[in-house]
Structure 1
Amino acid sequence: MVLTPVLSGCISEGDTREEAISNIRKAIDLYLEPVPEDDGAHFAEGAEFEITVRRRS
Protein backbone atom coordinates (compact mmCIF):
# COMPACT_ATOMS: atom_id res chain seq x y z
CA MET A 1 0.00 0.00 0.00
CA VAL A 2 1.18 3.51 -0.82
CA LEU A 3 0.12 6.54 1.25
CA THR A 4 0.49 10.25 0.57
CA PRO A 5 0.54 11.94 4.00
CA VAL A 6 0.27 15.42 2.47
CA LEU A 7 -2.87 14.45 0.52
CA SER A 8 -5.17 12.97 3.14
CA GLY A 9 -6.99 9.90 1.89
CA CYS A 10 -4.93 9.57 -1.30
CA ILE A 11 -3.80 5.95 -1.23
CA SER A 12 -3.08 3.21 -3.73
CA GLU A 13 -1.50 -0.22 -4.06
CA GLY A 14 -0.02 -2.60 -6.60
CA ASP A 15 1.23 -6.15 -7.01
CA THR A 16 4.81 -4.85 -7.32
CA ARG A 17 6.66 -1.80 -6.04
CA GLU A 18 6.81 -0.36 -9.56
CA GLU A 19 3.07 -0.87 -10.08
CA ALA A 20 2.29 0.73 -6.71
CA ILE A 21 4.37 3.81 -7.60
CA SER A 22 2.70 4.07 -11.01
CA ASN A 23 -0.74 3.73 -9.40
CA ILE A 24 -0.06 6.39 -6.74
CA ARG A 25 1.04 8.84 -9.44
CA LYS A 26 -2.32 8.31 -11.16
CA ALA A 27 -4.13 8.63 -7.81
CA ILE A 28 -2.36 11.94 -7.10
CA ASP A 29 -3.41 13.28 -10.53
CA LEU A 30 -7.03 12.31 -9.85
CA TYR A 31 -6.91 13.69 -6.30
CA LEU A 32 -5.72 17.07 -7.55
CA GLU A 33 -8.17 17.23 -10.46
CA PRO A 34 -10.68 19.98 -9.66
CA VAL A 35 -14.33 19.08 -9.31
CA PRO A 36 -16.90 21.32 -11.08
CA GLU A 37 -17.88 23.27 -7.95
CA ASP A 38 -14.23 23.61 -6.87
CA ASP A 39 -12.33 26.77 -7.73
CA GLY A 40 -9.08 24.75 -7.92
CA ALA A 41 -7.28 27.15 -5.58
CA HIS A 42 -5.96 24.48 -3.22
CA PHE A 43 -2.59 24.22 -4.98
CA ALA A 44 -0.71 26.62 -7.20
CA GLU A 45 -0.69 25.69 -10.86
CA GLY A 46 2.49 23.81 -11.63
CA ALA A 47 2.97 22.75 -8.00
CA GLU A 48 5.43 19.89 -7.67
CA PHE A 49 5.20 16.92 -5.34
CA GLU A 50 7.97 14.57 -4.33
CA ILE A 51 7.31 10.84 -4.02
CA THR A 52 9.42 9.09 -1.37
CA VAL A 53 9.46 5.31 -1.19
CA ARG A 54 10.38 3.77 2.17
CA ARG A 55 11.00 0.11 2.69
CA ARG A 56 9.43 -1.46 5.77
CA SER A 57 11.85 -2.95 8.28
Structure 2
Amino acid sequence: MNLLIILAILGIALLVIIPILEKHGRSYTPEETRKLSKWILPMVALLLVLQILVYYFG
Protein backbone atom coordinates (compact mmCIF):
# COMPACT_ATOMS: atom_id res chain seq x y z
CA MET A 1 0.00 0.00 0.00
CA ASN A 2 2.85 2.37 0.85
CA LEU A 3 4.42 1.71 -2.52
CA LEU A 4 1.24 2.73 -4.34
CA ILE A 5 1.04 5.95 -2.33
CA ILE A 6 4.66 6.79 -3.14
CA LEU A 7 4.14 6.04 -6.84
CA ALA A 8 0.99 8.16 -6.91
CA ILE A 9 2.78 11.11 -5.29
CA LEU A 10 5.69 10.78 -7.73
CA GLY A 11 3.32 10.62 -10.70
CA ILE A 12 1.40 13.70 -9.60
CA ALA A 13 4.65 15.56 -8.92
CA LEU A 14 5.90 14.74 -12.42
CA LEU A 15 2.65 15.90 -13.98
CA VAL A 16 3.03 19.23 -12.18
CA ILE A 17 6.80 19.80 -12.32
CA ILE A 18 7.50 18.90 -15.97
CA PRO A 19 5.16 21.53 -17.49
CA ILE A 20 6.52 24.17 -15.11
CA LEU A 21 10.11 23.34 -16.07
CA GLU A 22 9.27 23.37 -19.77
CA LYS A 23 7.62 26.77 -19.47
CA HIS A 24 10.20 28.49 -17.27
CA GLY A 25 13.28 26.39 -18.01
CA ARG A 26 16.36 27.74 -19.71
CA SER A 27 17.31 26.45 -23.15
CA TYR A 28 20.96 25.73 -23.79
CA THR A 29 22.96 26.59 -26.87
CA PRO A 30 24.64 23.74 -28.78
CA GLU A 31 28.02 24.91 -27.47
CA GLU A 32 26.83 24.72 -23.85
CA THR A 33 25.35 21.30 -24.48
CA ARG A 34 28.63 20.09 -25.97
CA LYS A 35 30.55 21.33 -22.93
CA LEU A 36 28.19 19.60 -20.53
CA SER A 37 28.07 16.33 -22.44
CA LYS A 38 31.87 16.16 -22.40
CA TRP A 39 31.75 15.76 -18.60
CA ILE A 40 28.86 13.31 -18.23
CA LEU A 41 30.60 10.02 -19.06
CA PRO A 42 33.71 10.65 -16.88
CA MET A 43 31.46 11.65 -13.97
CA VAL A 44 29.35 8.50 -14.36
CA ALA A 45 32.51 6.39 -14.43
CA LEU A 46 33.85 8.13 -11.31
CA LEU A 47 30.57 7.61 -9.47
CA LEU A 48 30.54 3.95 -10.47
CA VAL A 49 34.06 3.43 -9.11
CA LEU A 50 33.20 5.28 -5.90
CA GLN A 51 30.06 3.19 -5.40
CA ILE A 52 32.06 -0.02 -5.89
CA LEU A 53 34.58 1.16 -3.30
CA VAL A 54 31.84 2.05 -0.83
CA TYR A 55 30.16 -1.30 -1.39
CA TYR A 56 33.32 -3.33 -0.73
CA PHE A 57 35.05 -1.17 1.90
CA GLY A 58 32.29 0.95 3.41
TM-score by length of 2: 0.34
Rg larger in 1 or in 2?
2
**Which structure carries more relative contact order (alpha carbon 8 Å, separation 6+)?**
1
Task: Give the structure with the larger strand fraction.
Answer: 1
Q: TM-score w.r.t. structure 1 length?
A: 0.35
Higher fraction of helix: 2
